[in-house]
Amino acid sequence: MTKTKPWFWGDIAYQIYIRSFYDSNGDGVGDLRGIIDKLDYLSNTLGVTAIWLCPFYDSPMVDFGYDVSDYESVDPLFGDLDDFKELLKQAHTSGIKVIVDLIANHTSDKHQWFIESKSSKDNPKRNWYIWHSSEDGNPPNDWLSAFGGSAWEYDSHTNQFYLHSFSKQQPDLNWNNPEVKDAIKNVMKFWLDIGVDGFRADAVYWLSKDGWFRDDPRNPHFHDKNSSGEYDALIHSHSRLGPHLYEHLQDMTAVLEDYPGSFLVVEASPIAAIPGKNQDIPEYLNLYRYVDSKLCAPFNFELIRLPWDARFYKSFIDNFQSKLHPDYLPIYTFGNHDNPRLASRIGEEAIRVAAMLLLTLPGLPFIYYGEEIGMKDVQIPRGEQKDPSRFGGNGRDAARTPLQWNKSNNAGFSSQTPWLPVDKDYEKYNIETQLAKPDSLLNLYRALTMLRRQSDALRHGNYLSLEINHSSVYGFIRQTKAEKIAIILNFSSKKHSVESKGSKGKIIFSTYLDKENLLYKDLTELRPNEGIVINLS
């Protein structure tokens, strides 16, 4: 008998960028009622069991909701609190857990806290944000905003600078002030009391900064000033990852103790080696060590960064899994709203294998909306882009376009012109068309979610590395006492044969959706870009 694990072990999560999911009221922007309308798609058609909702709180929308002006509200663009409660109720009835975004590092400059903080040096909320004077009129240090330029903004009213690690409309909260920590803990309680199942914690690396506000060192590997913007010119070792980071995260996580079954997923991307830091393991693995790992786990973003090569995947995943204590939950994902889409990164031929990989790995996998129909980046001319950041050199709009539901106008997303353009190929890549085609990508995702939901080994089993003597083929085993399953993935567009090395079993699944119950022994030929699942029990 497998030990009973909480829901987040083995479930399948789906990230909803609400603005682009489904527009129920014809204003060109997705909303909460739109998600309610499509719950049946999520739970019965696609078969996911949890959703992460990007921010829907009151916001001036400078960073599309990551600039919150009231944490305990719903922005009218998305609906109201009753809509949220209805969504939660119906999601739970459909067997779907709901995770909401927690933006704890910064607020909007229109948040009442900041308005007060800015009003005078004596205001009781002055110390809720990070204010500094400068002697020569220049910013207090060299720290940079992830969105470009200095991280300091001068305020002539009080003759001081405030810190903003992202846009200047997103002032950083001062986590050294216990009142701030309490305020954010109260925000968590507010949503947990309403019934959410957890949070995705945004931008946590910035919660703690160097206490002396020392300059960030220059990045010795940065040469080309024009390549990726000046942000990469520095190593951000003082402006983030400060000494109190894990303490702050543990304090946030402790709130969950009173809400059984709740969970915190942390945005913690791998970062380049920092001189003087012991980085034989990625920084984010420390999270498991220093924060209650039964209630909190980091995303790992390597699958977003790695080139599509079986050797890199094998090496990273084998290594990562070997470092995880059996109680540490791995969280794999191939995409999110800040990165180019999977299909554009690795190519259309490879995405079926990627889908099988994601849904057969241990832990809690996250699918980014639209991935299930192979949505691609939509190139939007610079002048028409809405994203304020310079991420990726070209902003992030390309991966945030409306979900393509069918062949009708605006891909069935909205009756009005959507806030971002719909992909011109939507007549081919849409949910309705793919549902009607038995071997479509969407039907592959559906079959894989079903497979995962029905297999104890895939949800809860151990991960064991498999040695396959082929550089384009990567495989592993998932195993419980009663069930043993092998997953073998051909990353190349050529066919390859693999030896069973004495193992016998049945091939129960292929990414081509046509192989079932074929015997697996001796030599098995994998077709180009084919992944198979073998039952070895």
Per CB under 6 A, residues contacting ligand NOJ are: 63, 66, 103, 166, 202-203, 267, 337-338
Q: What whole-number distance in Å separates Cα of residue 486 and Cα of residue 505?
A: 9
Between residues 172 and 197, which has the closer beta carbon with respect to ligand NOJ?
A: 172
How many CA atoms lie within 13 Å of 21's alpha carbon, on the beta-carbon side? Answer: 25
Pick the closer one to ligand NOJ by CB: 66 or 429.
66
Residue with tokens 């946030």: 252
| Residues 468, 474 contacting (CB under 8 angstroms) | yes
Q: Which is nearer to ligand NOJ, 342 or 532 (CB)?
A: 342
Question: What's the closest the beta carbon of residue 389 comes to ligand NOJ, in angstroms?
Answer: 6
d(CA 84, CA 70) in angstroms, rounded, equals 15
Q: At what angle do helices 441-454 and 351-360 cross, to 10 degrees?
A: 20
478/457 Cα distance (integer angstroms): 6
Strand, coil or helix: 299? strand
**Shortest Å distance, C-beta 470 to ligand NOJ:** 37
CB of 71 to ligand NOJ, least distance (A): 13
Q: How far is the CB of 17 from ligand NOJ (least distance, A)?
A: 9
Q: Annotated catalytic, 530?
A: no
**CA–CA separation, 71 and 150 (whole Å):** 27
Residue whose beta carbon is closest to ligand NOJ: 66
Q: Closest Cα partner for 243 from 284, 279, 203, 205? A: 205
Q: Rounded to the nearest whole angstrom, what is the least distance from the CB of residue 268 to ligand NOJ in the complex?
A: 11
Contact 332, 340 (CB under 8 A): no
| Active-site residue identified among 31, 63, 172, 202 | 202
Give the Å distances, CA to CA, from 437 to 373, 405, 510, 516, 524.
12, 14, 16, 19, 27
Residue pair 122/71 in contact by the 8 Å Cβ criterion? no
Least separation in angstroms between CB 489 and ligand NOJ: 29
The single-letter code of the amino acid at 466 is L
Annotated catalytic residue within 75, 197, 267, 371:
267
- The CA angle 66-71-75, to the nearest 5 degrees, is 70
Read off the tokens for 255.
């709130």
Nearer of residues 105 and 414 to ligand NOJ, judged by Cβ: 105
378 alpha carbon, distance to own chain's centre: 19
| C-alpha count within 13 angstroms, C-beta hemisphere, residue 477 | 16
d(Cα 149, Cα 484) in Å, to the nearest integer?
53
Assess contact for 429 and 375: CB atoms under 8 A: yes
Q: Are 487 and 526 in contact (CB under 8 A)?
A: no
**Sheet containing 462-465: order of strands:** 462-465, 473-479, 484-490, 531-535, 505-510, 518-520
Q: Residue 303 Cβ, how far from ligand NOJ at the closest point, in Å?
A: 16
Based on the residue annotation, tell me whether 423 is a catalytic residue of this protein.
no
Q: Measured from the CB atom, is 61 or 447 closer to ligand NOJ?
A: 61
Residue closer to ligand NOJ (CB basis): 58 or 202: 202
Q: Of 50, 42, 92, 78, give the one whose Cα is nearest residue 194.
A: 92
Distance CA 344, CA 358 (A): 17
Shortest Cβ 61–ligand NOJ spacing (Å): 12
Residue-wise DSSP of 256-271: GGGSTT-EEEE-----
Q: Which two tokens stand for residue 159?
A: 């003759």
Based on CB atoms, which residue is closest to ligand NOJ, 14 or 426?
14
Smaller CB separation from ligand NOJ, 67 or 83: 67
Which residue's CB is nearer to ligand NOJ, number 66 or number 328? 66
Q: For ligand NOJ, give the closer residue by CB, 116 or 338.
A: 338
User: 322-340 burial, b for 16+ CB within 10 Å, e for fewer?
Assistant: eebeeebbbbbbbbbbbbb
In whole angstroms, give the CA distance from residue 196 to residue 252.
15
Provide the 3-class DSSP secondary structure of residue 30. coil
Q: Which residues are known to be catalytic?
A: 202, 267
